């Protein structure tokens, strides 16, 4: 064997360990290179000489092994380790990282390359590129509707600037929420002028109307203070004083509450004064409500009436001494009237100044008016001798078809006839006209007729209404506000009517009103259109409007929910929360921003609130990714050993996810590289020693010849 064999082996060891050191150096150099995949060097033994071949066994001897002598080592392979690198968040949505196997496909100068480095940006032409190399990212570009081509070859991903999302006409409005079943519609309340009635002496003095029936001295008695206000009667110089109280304690106790109480006290005091039978008597005239002081004796007598309440004193007569002539001389007070009540006779009614309304037995009172602007059928009320104010109220109530528990009443403070209609504008009362059709009784008619000032509306009829509005769009992207006004139908249970309107110039041309009926549990029963339509139709141009001639007519499906369901409109007790949940139209939109999802789809967000797929970044895999050829610039090219690239959508065809806003870091493990560096260094040193030892042997051989 020549001495040079060991030298050759040592030299091969030096050379190949140097290659290992080169790979380690390259790995460490790319410790911060995004998408970089580390390399690994493997060695193999090199055989060059066979000193003796092996022999097979025979019957006389066993077999022998071959004798071989190697001539060093060689590089078996330099492998790319495709293990996953760590992901680092960058926040830039065009930075892409692959979580799993695969590569981004890019095109540079017409050639196809592959990379794990996803630091991409859009260039001036809207192409997604690697700004370091100019390589264009490959994938699919969506059409104007956001549809990706199926089965087509990949191409440059290009998202032109200024992309628009075309307007879309609304096709439906989804109605959700609750219509409050507990809300009560208000009814009309009409009130006539004040009404009084002839006082029979039994009512509280405080509040009585005292009138001289001439219109010049009419006033209501006020300021009567219980246990303080007094009334004094002086007859022939003898004075008796009586005190006003809240509750009369009986005749002879010196107190009074009503006029009859006072009359009883006066007569009692006079009888006491004149020995049990007074020539002067006080009496209530039930016909006109006056009190008469009459002298039935043969001699004249004098009386004087005073009170600490000036109104009562004026009503009862002059405070000066009055002489009552013998045998019938008398003094009459003003006519007293109390606030009319339901039990007062119609013939006893008076107006606010105490003047009789002039009704007589057999008068026919005609009752007219309107309900919901429709005239009612005239109703007549025949005045009988026993007819009361309450009887008139009942007739008025029936004439207007009022069904509520309040109905037509007499106001306890003013005696006014008060008509309280059923709730809602459908029952709204107007033009109330109650007149005497038998005779011309101006006084009665001035209280209850339809003349201005006779009736005062203290409450207007209102409906329980809930308005909902939503903005819809026509085919050109013009906006219109559509309002649906839901009104509780007071004539039918669990029923609401609705009416649609739209902002100008749009007009409702069909399906503009209808009814929503609910079940007893509050769920929707039916939602119908009055004209038999199935949609709400609008003309966005307006009738006779030449503007927007190119906009299509709008047909809206009103989605109120399914029968028996609670997901749409409901009617339950609680706040009305009816809202327009959704509509599907929108106006023209300009591309505002983009995002890339885990499947590589590039989604554009437009100014009109819509999102549309603009393209898709595709992922390539290989049967043997280790066979890829490094081309520099983080690029790889396919080779014969890789097989054809398999290109598909991330997360579906290829089980790899794309992470937007992140980059994959180098997969170099520095600790491993340092360990390998030590191994390479020791191998290099050992092979150097082999060369040194071989050199010494050669030197000794040369020295033998000397």
Q: What is the pLDDT of residues 246-286, one digit of tens each?
A: 999 999 999 999 999 999 999 999 999 998 889 999 999 98
Residue whose structure tokens are 């199926």: 150
pLDDT in tens, 78-107: 989 999 999 999 999 999 999 999 999 999
Region 388-401: mean pLDDT is 97
Mean pLDDT of 309-313: 94
Q: Does domain 188-194+340-459 have CATH number 1.10.1060?
A: no
Give the pLDDT confidence score for residue 441 in this predicted structure: 66
**Which of these, 168, 270, 190, lies nearest to 456 by C-alpha position?**
190
What is the average pLDDT across 18-33?
Answer: 91
CA 481 to the chain's CA centroid: 16
Region 129-150 average pLDDT: 92
Torsion of CA 247, 249, 254, 258, to 10 degrees: 40
Superfamily the domain 172-183+464-583 falls into: Flagellar hook protein FlgE (2.60.98.20)
- Given phi > 0 = left and psi -120 to 50 = alpha, else beta, which region is 228? alpha
* CA angle in degrees (0–180, nearest 5) for 320-321-327: 140
Q: Residue 280's pLDDT is what? A: 95
Helix (H, G, I), strand (E, B) or coil at 315: helix
Range 483-508 average pLDDT: 91
Give pLDDT, residue 544: 58
Q: How many CB atoms lie within 10 A of CB 182?
A: 10
pLDDT, residue 706, reads 60
DSSP string, 279-308: SEEEEEETTTTEEEEEE-SSS-EEEEEEES
**Residues forming CATH 2.60.40 domain(s) in the chain:** 188-194+340-459
The token pair at 647 is: 């290109």
Nearest to 600 by CA among 58, 79, 97: 97
User: Rounded to whole angstroms, what are the CA distances from 469 to 484, 485, 503?
Assistant: 6, 9, 11
For residue 173 the two structure tokens come to 């409005």
Give the model's pLDDT for residue 440: 63
Task: Indicate the SS3 state at residue 408.
Answer: strand
Task: Find the Cα–Cα–Cα–Cα dihedral 342, 345, 348, 351, rounded to 10°.
Answer: 30
Question: What's the confidence (pLDDT) of residue 238?
Answer: 95
The segment(s) of the chain belonging to CATH 2.60.98.20 are 172-183+464-583
Give the least confident one: 50-64, 224-238, 455-469.
50-64
Three-state DSSP at 645 gives coil
- Nearest Cα to Cα of residue 83 among 635, 626, 680, 638: 626
- Find out whether 191 and 587 touch, Cβ atoms under 8 Å: no
pLDDT per residue as tens digits for the range 522-568:
999 999 999 999 999 999 887 655 445 557 899 999 999 999 989 89
| pLDDT (0 to 100) of residue 549 | 56
Q: Residue 1 has what pLDDT?
A: 45
Structure confidence by residue, pLDDT tens digits, 565-604: 898 999 998 777 767 668 889 888 888 889 999 999 999 9
- For position 166, what pLDDT does the model report? 86
The pLDDT tens digits of the residues spanning 612-639 come to: 999 999 999 999 998 999 999 999 999 9
pLDDT for 161-193, tens place per residue?
A: 778 888 889 999 999 889 988 888 999 999 999
Q: Region 18-41: what's the mean pLDDT? A: 92
Please say if the pLDDT value at position 2 is more than 80.
Answer: no
Q: What is the mean pLDDT of the chain?
A: 90
Q: Considering only CA atoms, which of 275, 199, 286 is closest in space to residue 235? A: 275
How many Cα atoms sit within 13 Å of 214 on the Cβ side? 4
pLDDT at 681: 85
> Beta-carbon neighbour count of residue 526 at 10 Å?
13
Q: What per-residue confidence (pLDDT) applies to 550? A: 59
Beta strand ranges found along 183-274 (DSSP E): 187-192, 196-198, 209-211, 219-220, 230-235, 238-244, 255-256
């Amino acid at each position: 064997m020549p001495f040079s064999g060991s030298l050759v082996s040592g030299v091969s060891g030096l050379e190949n360990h140097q290659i290992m050191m080169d790979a380690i150096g390259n790995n460490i150099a790319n410790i911060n290179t995004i998408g970089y995949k580390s390399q690994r060097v493997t060695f193999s033994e090199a055989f060059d000489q066979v000193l003796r071949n092996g022999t097979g066994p025979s019957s006389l001897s066993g077999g022998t092994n071959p004798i071989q002598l190697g001539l060093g080592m060689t590089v078996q392979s330099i492998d790319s380790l495709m293990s996953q690198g760590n992901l680092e968040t960058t926040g830039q949505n065009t930075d892409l990282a692959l979580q799993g196997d695969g590569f981004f496909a890019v095109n540079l100068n017409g050639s196809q390359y592959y990379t794990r480095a996803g630091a991409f940006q859009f260039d001036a032409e809207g192409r997604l590129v690697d700004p370091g190399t100019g390589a264009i990212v490959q994938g699919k570009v969506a059409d104007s509707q956001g549809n990706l081509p199926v089965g087509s070859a990949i191409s440059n991903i290009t998202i032109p600037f200024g992309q628009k999302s075309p307007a879309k006409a609304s096709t439906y409005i989804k109605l959700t929420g609750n219509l409050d079943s507990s809300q009560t519609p208000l009814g009309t309340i009409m009130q006539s002028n004040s009404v009084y009635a002839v006082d029979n002496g039994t009512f509280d003095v405080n509040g009585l109307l005292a009138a001289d029936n001439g219109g010049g001295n009419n006033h209501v008695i006020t300021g009567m203070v219980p246990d303080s206000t007094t009334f004094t009667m002086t007859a022939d110089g003898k004075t008796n004083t009586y005190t006003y109280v809240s509750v009369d304690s009986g005749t002879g106790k010196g107190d009074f509450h009503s006029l009859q109480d006072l009359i009883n006290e006066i007569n009692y005091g006079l009888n006491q004064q004149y020995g049990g039978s007074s020539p002067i008597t006080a009496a209530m005239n039930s016909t006109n409500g006056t009190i008469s002081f009459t002298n039935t004796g043969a001699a004249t007598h004098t009386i004087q009436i005073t009170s600490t309440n000036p109104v009562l004193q004026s009503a009862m007569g002059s405070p000066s001494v009055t002489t009552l002539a013998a045998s019938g001389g008398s003094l009459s007070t003003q006519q007293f009237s109390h606030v009319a009540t339901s039990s007062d006779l119609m013939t006893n009614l008076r107006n606010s100044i105490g003047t009789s309304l002039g009704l007589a037995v057999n008068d026919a009172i005609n009752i007219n008016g309107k309900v919901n602007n429709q005239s009612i059928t005239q109703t007549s009320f025949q005045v009988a001798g026993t007819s009361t104010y309450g009887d008139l109220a009942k007739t008025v109530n029936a004439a207007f078809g009022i069904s509520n528990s309040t109905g037509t009443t007499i106001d306890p403070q003013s005696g006014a006839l008060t008509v309280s209609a059923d709730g809602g504008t459908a029952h709204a009362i107007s033009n109330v006209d109650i007149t005497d059709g038998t005779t011309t009784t101006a006084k009665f008619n001035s209280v209850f007729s339809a003349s201005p000032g006779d009736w005062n509306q203290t409450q207007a009829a209102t409906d329980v209404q809930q308005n909902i509005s939503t903005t819809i769009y026509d085919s050109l992207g013009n906006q219109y506000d559509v309002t649906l006004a839901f009104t509780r139908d007071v004539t039918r249970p669990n029923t609401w009517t609705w009416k649609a309107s739209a902002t100008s110039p749009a007009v409702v041309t069909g399906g503009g009103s209808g009814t929503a009926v609910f079940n007893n549990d509050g769920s929707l029963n039916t939602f119908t259109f009055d004209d038999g339509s199935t949609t709400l139709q609008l003309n966005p141009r307006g009738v006779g409007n030449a503007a927007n001639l190119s906009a299509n007519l709008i047909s809206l499906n009103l989605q109120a929910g399914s029968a028996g369901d609670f997901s749409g409109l409901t009617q339950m007790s609680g706040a009305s929360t009816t809202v327009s949940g959704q509509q599907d139209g929108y106006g023209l939109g300009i591309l505002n921003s983009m995002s890339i999802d885990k499947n590589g789809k590039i989604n554009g967000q437009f100014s009109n609130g819509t999102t549309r797929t603009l393209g898709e970044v595709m992922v390539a895999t290989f049967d043997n990714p280790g066979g890829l050829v490094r081309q520099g610039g983080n690029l790889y090219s396919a080779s014969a050993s890789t097989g054809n690239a398999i290109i598909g959508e991330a997360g579906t065809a290829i089980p790899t996810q794309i992470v937007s806003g992140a980059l994959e870091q180098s997969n170099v493990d520095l600790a491993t590289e340092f360990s390998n560096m030590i191994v390479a260094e020791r191998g290099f040193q050992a092979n150097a020693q082999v060369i040194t030892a071989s050199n010494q042997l050669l030197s000794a051989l040369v020295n033998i010849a000397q």
